[in-house]
Structure 1
Amino acid sequence: MDITLDLVLQQAVTGLALGAVYVLVAVGLSLIFGLLTVVNFAHGAFFMVGAYAGIATHEYTGSFLAAGVAAVVVSALIGAFSERVLVRPLYGRGIDYPLLLTFGISYVLVDAARILFGRQGLSIDLPEALQGGIDLGFGYFPLYRMLLVAGTLVLLALLWLGIERTRWGLIIRAGARDPLILRVLGVDVSRVWLAIFAFGAGLAGLAGILAAPLRGATPEMGDGVLVSAFVVTVVGGMGSLAGAVVAGFGLGVAVSLTTLFAPAFSDLAMFVFMAIVLLVRPNGLFGRAGLLS
């Protein structure tokens, strides 16, 4: 196969769409870890829940917008329940306890999906308005994937504004550094933890329904995404939102280009990239030392 510059550019743009999914999942994972210091192994299951909730809603309403709202709401509610009832009693008992608990939550949600929807995968059709392609000058690219990248960038901009320019954002940043001071100032830290866990789960659910038109939905679909999200989080720096964004898009492009030049090594590409980054910067691109201590 002749590899031209146009083909490389098309593959790089494809990688941005893949990276958008990585970013949405990894940002939620990074938020939860950065504030709660919880390594959330149920995050991939929240991704799967969002896909199934969105597809089920789409079957009843025929609206892709309603499917997206349902994916976020259902995932966020399950995340809020998990934090309030299951995870919260384990705060302060070491990082291993919530890690193992969320691992168990993941198994419960996956088995529940198998019982409710079966082991066969489900699919969802895109609305006619989201079909078609855009001429980028070096080739046509699916409209939906371009909107996925653009929508992710807009959401990230709104998230940045919320964290950097609002009172809630100030509380979140302060809580990540010293929750004891927040308690002294009269802030109900438990409500902040609940909101962040639910928001992170909701982001994962949103990523699930946005990825469903591209890959369908299966009960095990969150496993590979969870691994990718952890790689993105580690490469970007544990707890760093900026790192999750940069690493997510970067790894998406790296995997996509590796698929073009050496398809047999596409699954290995992100781990090689992670190893190289950690050799140079052990805390990741934007991570800070001592977060786990």
Structure 2
Amino acid sequence: MNIYVFQALNGLGLGMIYFLLSVGLSIIFGLLGFVNFAHGALFLVGAYAAFFTNQATGSFALGLIASFVCVAGLGLVAERWLLRRTYKMSHEAQILVTVGLTFVLTEAVVYFFGPESQRVAPPESLSSVLMIGPYPIPSYRLFIVIVCGVIGVALWWLFERTMFGARVRAGNERPQMLKLLGTKVSRVYAIAFGLGTGLAGLAGGLAVPLRGADPSMGVEAIVIAFVVVVIGGMGSFSGPLVGGLIIGVTQSMMSAIWPEGARLAIFLLMVVVLLLMPKGLFGRA
């Protein structure tokens, strides 16, 4: 029984990274109505930005900051000069454009950093193990839970309790009305898009000490992100949190029970949720 409790505790850290990754996708997909299949590639870029900054400066904190800032900036540039032109196109066109962007970003990472996996160790202050009762939990995973929890609360406040959040929601539902009120909708979309992509980059930076950085992690990330968003529900902020924790704990538990079935289990879970609750656990109509 102890091994399962230990795996469940470890799964919380993994689940919070999934939350950070998927809440950015939920912002872009659920609130802006844009299908961004390049989200996993942005997670990849964030991981390598953290790796490069950590190697150059020796600072893990600066690596995390760089993972957010670099990817948010990349997202703003891509939104302004490429993706904005696809907002009124069909979802199929959006998928083709963002899949193409995924290939470009992935090949750029391979060109500059090579195809080999790269590692970043957590700082010494987060390398210890803490005891929660009789159960050990790595300090770094607890750090992930705290950081992502704080970010989650800040995002909820931003989108549910501020004028900016109201403008983002209104821009998705009634953009013409928002224009009549004097708000520049394109600017609101750009900020929301940059924030969503920056969160994906930060998730990549946090994930590097757990699984390393390699060019294939972007594909894995986009699959997990969509599974979490589908289970939690699009356009919701509690949905990605609950969905991410469910997937993280499920994967961690299954790695102890049946390692070969860990990936299969999350897709079966998604199918069950879709059959019972097509909008997800907390999805909006």
TM-score normalised per structure 1: 0.94
Retained in 2: the 8 A contact 1:38–1:99? no
Shift of 1:219: 1.4
The 3-state SS of whatever aligns with 1:53 is helix
Shift of 1:70: 0.8
Aligned to 2:238: 242
Unaligned stretches of 5+ in structure 1?
none
The 1-side partners of 2:30 and 2:179 are apart by 18
Q: Is the 8 A contact 1:238 1:287 kept in 2?
A: yes
Letter in 2 for 1:168: F
* Larger displacement relative to structure 2 (34-43 or 104-113): 34-43
Match of 2:142 in 1: 146
Aligned to 1:183: 179
Equivalence for 2:226: 230
Aligned-partner SS, 1:140: strand
Instruction: Note the C-alpha offset of 1:60.
Output: 1.4
Alignment-mate amino acid for residue 205 of structure 2: I
Which of 199, 204, 220 is matched with 1:203 structurally? 199
Separation in 2, partners of 1:163, 1:42: 23
1:7 aligns with 2:3: yes
1:271 maps to 2:285 = no
Q: Distance in 2 between matches of 1:32 and 1:141?
A: 33
Deviation at 1:141, TM superposition (A): 1.0
Whole-angstrom CA distance in 1 between matches of 2:121 and 2:240: 29
1:35 to partner: Cα distance:
2.5
What is the CA-CA distance between 1:174 and the residue it aligns to?
A: 2.0
Partner residue, 2:97: 101
Q: Could you tell me how far 1:36 is from its partner in structure 2?
A: 2.1
CA–CA distance in 1 between the matches of 2:116 and 2:14?
24
Q: Secondary structure at the match of 1:92?
A: coil
Whole-angstrom distance in 1 between the partners of 2:172 and 2:244: 22
* Percent identity of paired positions between Structure 1 and Structure 2: 45
1:111-150 → structure 2 map (5 Å cutoff): 111-150=107-146
Q: Letter of the 2:42 partner, please give it.
A: F
Give the Å deviation of 1:63. 0.8
Name the CA distance, whole Å, in 2 between partners of 1:98 and 1:269: 29
d(CA) in 2 for partners of 1:203 and 1:74? 11
Aligned residue for 1:57? 53
- C-alpha contact 1:34 1:176 (8 A) present in aligned 2: no
Deviations 1:109-165 (A, max 9, x none): 000001000111111121111110110113211000011011111110111111122
Q: Which runs of 4+ in 1 moved over 6 A?
A: none
1:28 corresponds in structure 2 to 24
CA distance in 2, matches of 1:158, 1:36: 19
User: What residue in structure 2 maps to residue 219 of structure 1?
Assistant: 215
Aligned equivalents of 1:288 and 1:189: distance in 2?
22
Separation in 2, partners of 1:218, 1:253: 23
Q: How does 1:165-180 map to 2 (within 5 A)?
A: 165-180=161-176
Q: How many residues align?
A: 285
Offset of 1:276 from its aligned partner? 0.7
Structure 2 runs not aligned, ≥5 long: none
TM-score normalised by L of structure 2: 0.97
Q: One-letter code of the match for 1:278?
A: L
* Aligned counterparts of 1:284 and 1:164: Cα–Cα separation in 2: 20
